[in-house]
Amino acid sequence: MQRCRAHKLRNVLDHLSEDQKEQVKSVLRAAWKMEAKAGMARIRKLAEWLEREYPSAAASLREGLEECFTMNRLGVPPSLHRCLATTNIIESPNAGVRIRTRRVCHWQNGAMVRRWMASAFLRTEKNFRKIMGYRDLWALEAILCGSQSATRQAVA
């Protein structure tokens, strides 16, 4: 599971004073570019520094910290970081469906819901663009298939 870094950044900055925001933003962005262990250590150190004056910002930093480094830990190519670091590729299709189904007031049954959703996703799909780094999606597939087989071996 990968946490949305844009939401994490926004949540942390909401707890800070204006004079602290730029510095914390820079530290977070630099940490997210580091190897997973080093980056998490940097953010933990930042949370310790913020703890006294901004305990809610420190708590927000610590919450879901490991999930913010899933891409780093898996070794996802940097070309895919920008699109996979946010939830935009999930939220955008859902917003398109919401727009196309917002006027339906009464759903007769589950079959009607599925038809409308499928139709709305197909219409929304026409507005999709290629994601940045789409040429490296093969590497993501190889990483995920490799981690699934490693998980299967660990369970067995």
pLDDT at 50: 95
- Give the residue from 89, 99, 78, 71 showing the smallest Cα distance to 130: 89
Task: Identify each DSSP E strand in 2-143 by its residue range.
Answer: none
Residue 126 has pLDDT above 90, yes or no: no
pLDDT band at 13 (very low <50, low <70, confident <90, very high): very high
pLDDT band at 153 (very low <50, low <70, confident <90, very high): low
Query: How far apart (Å, rounded) are the C-alpha atoms in residues 52 and 37?
Result: 24
Please provide the average confidence, as pLDDT, over all residues in the chain: 87
Write the CB contacts of 21 (distance below 8 Å, at least 6 apart in sequence): 13
pLDDT at 82: 80
Residue 155 has pLDDT above 50, yes or no: no
pLDDT at 81: 81
**Mean pLDDT computed over 51-72:** 92
- Give the residue from 59, 82, 48 showing the smallest Cα distance to 11: 59
Instruction: Show the tokens assigned to 6.
Output: 């844009």
Q: Considering just the CA atoms, what is the radius of gyration of the chain in Å?
A: 20
Instruction: Pick 35 or 106 by higher pLDDT.
Output: 35
Query: What percent of the chain lies above the pLDDT cut of 70?
Result: 93
Write the CB contacts of 143 (distance below 8 Å, at least 6 apart in sequence): 74, 75, 76
Query: What percent of the chain lies above the pLDDT cut of 90?
Result: 42
Q: Where is average pLDDT lowest: 33-47, 54-68, 99-113?
A: 99-113
Domain ranges for the chain, please list them.
5-74, 83-155
